[in-house]
Amino acid sequence: MLPWWEILLRLGVAAIAGGLIGLNRDLKNKPIGMRTLPLVALTSALLVAHADHSATSDQLSDPTSRVIQGILTGIGFLGAGVIVRSGNRLEIHGLTTAACTWLAAGIGIVCGAGQWLIVGVALMITFAVLIGGHPAERLLHRLLRGRQGRTRP
């Protein structure tokens, strides 16, 4: 089993890196930003940490791998169903909800594997992104763009 600090490092750095990429996209008025991309990066790191751990303990069988692939493919269609484009070309809603849908699937997969420490760390980072992401987004917009920049609700 991976030590807790290694899990925190892998998942935390993924979320921070996704957030930095999201900040760039957000500042350029793209429809994906500082909450969606950290969740996508976190989910990817979560699943790789699970597969990495399973590979060392020979727990990830071929049928299990196929089930995981099927879940992640299917959940993409479900997530796409919550994304809505408004009248304005840049007004897109539901991306963070779609990312949360994918993340919930990833957490479910890792719960199914019984890797509770990875699940716990992922949930802590998830709630930090979801609760602290919007205030951090507003603050960084003020600092990096000034008050003339676009405002988000």
- Residue 56 is predicted with a pLDDT of 58
In tens, the pLDDT along 71-92 reads 778 777 767 777 777 776 667 7
Task: Give SS3 for 97.
Answer: helix
Ranges of H-type helices in the chain: 4-27, 36-57, 62-80, 95-112, 116-145
pTM above 0.75, yes or no: no
CB neighbours of residue 94 within 10 Å:
17
Average pLDDT, the chain: 79
In tens, the pLDDT along 59-71 reads 666 666 777 788 7
Q: How far apart, in whole angstroms, are the C-alpha atoms of residue 67 and residue 63?
A: 6
Task: Give SS3 for 145.
Answer: helix
- Residue 149 is predicted with a pLDDT of 47
Cβ contacts of 30 within 8 Å, gap of 6 or more: 90
Strand partners, 93: 84
Which residue, among 106, 153, 148, 152, has the nearest Cα to 126 in the 3D structure? Answer: 106
In tens, the pLDDT along 16-55 reads 988 888 887 787 777 777 888 888 888 888 887 877 666 5
Structure tokens at 79: 């997530």
